[in-house]
Amino acid sequence: MREIVFDTETTGLNPIGGDRMVEIGCVEMFNRVETGRHFHAYFNPEREMPSDAEAVHGLTAIFLSDKPRFSEKAEELLEFIADSPLVAHNAGFDFGFLNFELERCGRSAVCMSRMVDTLSLARSRHPGAKHSLDALCMRFGIDRSQRVKHGALLDAQLLAQVYVELTGGRQIGLGLVAETREVAVSAASRPVTIREPRPARPHLAAAEELERHRAFISKLVNPLWARFAAAG
């Protein structure tokens, strides 16, 4: 199954209040394995960049001033995501900005039924724990050393690894083939053969062992089991 993991960076928290998307990063996955294909773009928000937003992602109004408007990249973005499920962390936020930008340039909104929210998955799997992207990377041992500031493509790549762990880890892709008694591993270059089990070894005590045991038992003074035997 094809899925797209994506992340956005914005000028703020509220598109209806005038905030705009300034970056999007999308990573293609097939059967929960990254294919190496991605879509990444910066956008000119046609407005100033608030200092608190700039502190999060480091994107300045000057840097974005010569970037294309969202409407100029919308067709390319829609072709990339196609009709695949879209995976995001706190996905309602990213879907809100994506659909606002699409509708603003006369495009149809992405159906919310395509949304997969890794924040909800993390809360279900690990209630009471921290569920930020940084915290989940630490939990699953994912290298986030390059994440000095938020960046849409890097965050989407990290989230793709988190998503795999949240949905079963690296065991995904194992298929058992009973007829050949082999395990087919999609990521391996050759099958792993399962050896036939050895027959069980006999564990019957020898006659001399039983005799030694009876002699040992006879020397015990007032054993516990004798009380129950007498009561019965």
- Give catalytic residue positions: 150
Is residue 24 within 8 A of residue 39, CB to CB? The reply is yes
Residue 201 DSSP SS3: coil
Is residue 156 within 8 A of residue 162, CB to CB? The reply is no
From 69, 5, 10, select the one nearest 37 (Cα to Cα). 5
From 223, 200, 152, 163, select the one nearest 31 (Cα to Cα). 163
Cα Rg for the chain, rounded, in angstroms? Answer: 30
Residue 21 DSSP SS3: strand
* Counts for the chain of helices (H) and strands (E), in that order: 9, 8
d(C-alpha 113, C-alpha 91), whole Å: 12
Residue 92 CA: distances (Å) to CA of 77, 111, 118, 137:
19, 12, 11, 21
d(C-alpha 4, C-alpha 50), whole Å: 29
CB neighbours of residue 221 within 10 Å: 5
